[in-house]
Amino acid sequence: MEAKYKPLFESFTFRSGVEVENRVVMAPMTNWSSNLDGTVSDAEVDYYSRRAGGVGMVITACTHVSKNGQGFHGEFAGYNDEMIPSLARLATTIKEKGSKAVLQIFHGGRQCPPELVNGDVVSASAVPTDDGKVTPRALSDEEILAIIHDFGEATRRAIEAGYDGIEIHGANNYLLHQFFSGHTNRREDRWGGSLEKRLSFPLAVVDAIKQAVAKYADRPFLVGYRLSPEEPEELGFTMEDTLVLLDALAEKNLDYIHISLMDFWSEARRGVEDTGLVRMELIRDRVGASVPIMGVGSIHTADDALKALEMGIPLIALGRELIVEPDWVEKIEAGREADIRTTLSTDEQELLVVPDPLWQAIVSRTGWFPVV
């Protein structure tokens, strides 16, 4: 290994006591490949097995904590105890390769396809989806409390299934994001109406999960939180609003906060003064001393990862890069960083061990992946 890359291979111990062998994480990525009954498929197991081992930690694709929370076709489930063996199969696969296994949990809210939730699409408020095709039903207070409970129960299942932690999916326009956003949350009760009240649901979910960990975990078990830093809509949350959310999350003794970005070095749109700092630097300066930050987005090369680490972001997540190059970490460790693949061709599905639904999305969506 070239000496300058050694910082990428330093171990990291989270507040909970979970330790990872290096600073590189497999980011959670939807693959649409689970069985029809909501169990993990053989294709998914093979896909994760191919990518685990080099990275210090694997964060799985999201699993829904409530029956009416499924956000995608081909998504594995975590909403009842019957799913524990399926969840355990994936955790075991990842851990046997030497990586820590983290289960991402969520509720899709108004992003759920109606056919997957018997037509009962729910959210914070009855605000139509951006394409105008679905208007969700506003959740009642009782239903909100039930979903909060579901997050705690899903955490218990993750513990029983052998995971090393969970990541709360509060990003990418799903239910926690919807409650935080003034665009999708028009409530005037304890769950909305002001920025402080829009924080109530996400923070209650964190509390329920922390309580489940305290009650059920018999080993170090981490809790992370993923968020999107801004919204483009006029009533959507700004970077300034996100800094308030970060302050609140930093008080919850989380193991990390994961910032969901397409470009790690992107600049804030609105809500903060022009300081010359990119979003990740603003977040680092606000809460980086209190809670570890994980960054993701267009980190293609070893030098990109090193640059991100040197910015003061201690954990680097890779998504598409690990699909294109499953041996990304191993090649750097072996001094072969120049051999890291940065493109793929349409005849390499079997070589890269990618399930059919994900592969079809890769080759059909222009610009999503570097297909040559």
Active-site positions read 174
Cβ atoms within 10 Å, residue 274: 7
Phi–psi pair at 56, nearest 5 degrees: -70, -25
CA distance 80 to 331: 40
Q: How many residues does the chain have?
A: 372
Q: Show the CA angle centred on residue 179, arms to residues 68 and 32, nearest 5°.
A: 40
Task: Kindly state the tokens that stand for 142.
Answer: 């009782």
Task: Kindly state the tokens that stand for 364.
Answer: 């059909």
CA distance 1 to 78: 40
CA distance 226 to 278: 18
CA distance 64 to 226: 15
CA distance 46 to 250: 36
**Under a CB-based contact definition with an 8 Å cutoff, are residues 196 and 141 in contact?**
no
Residue 34: partners with Cβ closer than 8 Å, 6 or more residues away:
40, 41, 44, 74, 75, 76, 77
CA distance 242 to 230: 7
**Under a CB-based contact definition with an 8 Å cutoff, are residues 148 and 201 in contact?**
yes
Task: Kindly state the tokens that stand for 13.
Answer: 């111990």
CA distance 309 to 172: 24
- DSSP H helical segments within 55-106, as ranges? 84-96
Task: Kindly state the tokens that stand for 244.
Answer: 């308030």
